[in-house]
Amino acid sequence: MKILIISDLHERDIQSIVPNKILKSVDFLISAGDYNRYPYPLQSIGIYGNHDSLEEVNDKQTLINCHLKMKRIHSLKFMGVQGVFCGAKRYYKNPSWYHILESDIKIQLEKMPSVDFFITHFRAKEIFDRYHQGSQAFRDYIEQKEPKYYISGHTCADGAIERIGNTVCLNPHPCGKKRYIVLDLRTQDVRIFDINLTKI
């Protein structure tokens, strides 16, 4: 089984970045948020970012949203956290889906089971955490529940793959490129495709 993994493509079509040959070779897609060219071109699961449209999030939901819910595709288990964190004052002034409190998420994550794929838009602490602002709650979940894979987006980061204990961490954020990742679950191969964007 092969999986295409993306995040933060914003207004760029998946089809303009991922060759048709690869799209046809994968079984489904994982998104870590901030993709604004709905619908997705194939079966998709993941979470929404802070730039996804509220119409998509609240009404259309063209991907299987696993925000704080365990969802399954085949025998695989998925769970994630969408949006970004903010301070309590901003949250209560504008309690929309993309403004969430880390303290609330921490309590909910402590109750969640381990999954095969843990997907977040915001980053975990010290995992692709260039600005040292990552979530301790995400880091705790990874260290305690040991998901097989952790996928995050939102901000550009150094590197695209690392391991924390038994968890393989993947960073599909484009970082000024046309990055996407293909994961082959049968062979455990991870292929990271980085294509430099042409500046005009």
pLDDT digits (tens, 9 = 90+) for 24-34: 999 999 999 88
Are 179 and 193 within 8 A, CB to CB? yes
Mean pLDDT across 6-35 = 88
Report how far residue 110's alpha carbon sits from residue 142's, in angstroms, rounded to the nearest whole number.
11
More confident residue, 46 or 200: 46
Work out the pLDDT band at 50, boundaries 50, 70, 90.
confident
Mean pLDDT across 12-34 = 90
Work out the pLDDT band at 12, boundaries 50, 70, 90.
confident
Number of Cβ atoms within 10 Å of the Cβ of 155: 19
User: Which of 190, 183, 137, 146 lies closest to 164 in space, CA to CA?
Assistant: 146
Work out the pLDDT band at 156, boundaries 50, 70, 90.
confident
> Residue 113: which residues within 8 A CB-CB, separation 6 or more?
70, 77, 79, 145
Q: What is the 3-state secondary structure (H, E, C) of the chain?
A: CEEEEECCCECCCHHHCCCHHHHHHCCEEEECCCECCCCCCCCEEECCCCCCCHHHHHHHCCCEECECCCEEECCEEEEEECCEECCHHHHHHCCCCCEECHHHHHHHHHHCCCCCEEEECCCECCCCCCCCCCEHHHHHHHHHHCCCEEEECCCCCCCCEEEECCEEEECCCCCCECCEEEEECCCCEEEEECCECCCC
More confident residue, 94 or 159: 159
Identify the CATH homologous superfamily for domain 2-193: Metallo-dependent phosphatases (3.60.21.10)
The pLDDT of residue 52 is above 50: yes
Give the domain ranges of the chain: 2-193
More confident residue, 168 or 8: 168
Report how far residue 90's alpha carbon sits from residue 99's, in angstroms, rounded to the nearest whole number.
8
- Comparing 37-51, 52-66, 84-98, 102-116, which segment has the lowest mean pLDDT? 84-98
In Å, the largest CA–CA distance within the chain is 49
User: Which of 160, 124, 123, 163 lies closest to 140 in space, CA to CA?
Assistant: 124
pTM: predicted TM-score of the whole model, two decimal places:
0.90
